[in-house]
A = this chain, B = another copy of it.
Amino acid sequence: MATTRSGVLRVLGIDPGLTRCGVGVVDVARDRSATLVHVGVVRSAPTMPIEERLATIAAGLRAVIDAHDPQVVAVERVFAQHNRQTVMGTAQASGIALLVAGERGLPATTHTPTEVKAAITGYGAADKRQVQTMVARILRLDELPQPADAADALALALCHAWRGGVRPSGAVGASALTPAQRAWADAERVARR
């Protein structure tokens, strides 16, 4: 995954949902520092027919991509064992998120909630408040990102960049890493085996 724009990777995180679809865009530098670009929620009314709800979500996600031009998209992975009442709608919304990325030629990756929590707080079973607090700290925000879906989207984007999305660009290679970055990269490679 190439990092252009002076080694900064711009990631769009999407927390899929039919009623509220969280979206967060962050710029992550090679030293892992991160900056908030955009955070928000794409909504669709539960009273609308499902096909119109999905079209509304697709239009909202395309507008975010057009406005902020991310290089990669990270989407929360949905599991069948979750609440059956809502899981199908969430799965459909995640399909829309992946589709919109694919149609714009953007690579997309899914991450589990546990991966995201572990990346952001160091603890895979962290609660929503802990994730929100850490996201605010990492991005140097004065307030917690609201609502929780928006904070989750930012956490997803950060998780994606930190789990290997940010790499030194081709010509420079691994030698451009600081000793601390190299140690981190090595530890990540080992952890992925």
Contacts and interface: CB of A to CB of B under 8 A. Distances in A.
Given A58-B103, A84-B80, A49 B108 contact: yes
A95 B61 CA distance: 15
- At the interface, is chain A mostly helix, strand, loop or mixed? helix
Given A80-B80, A107-B49, A58 B92 contact: no
Interface in A77-124: 78-81, 84, 87-88, 91-96, 98-99, 101-103, 106-108, 110
Interface size class of A (residues with CB under 8 A): 20 to 34
Interface of A: 49-55, 58, 73, 78-81, 84, 87-88, 91-96, 98-99, 101-103, 106-108, 110
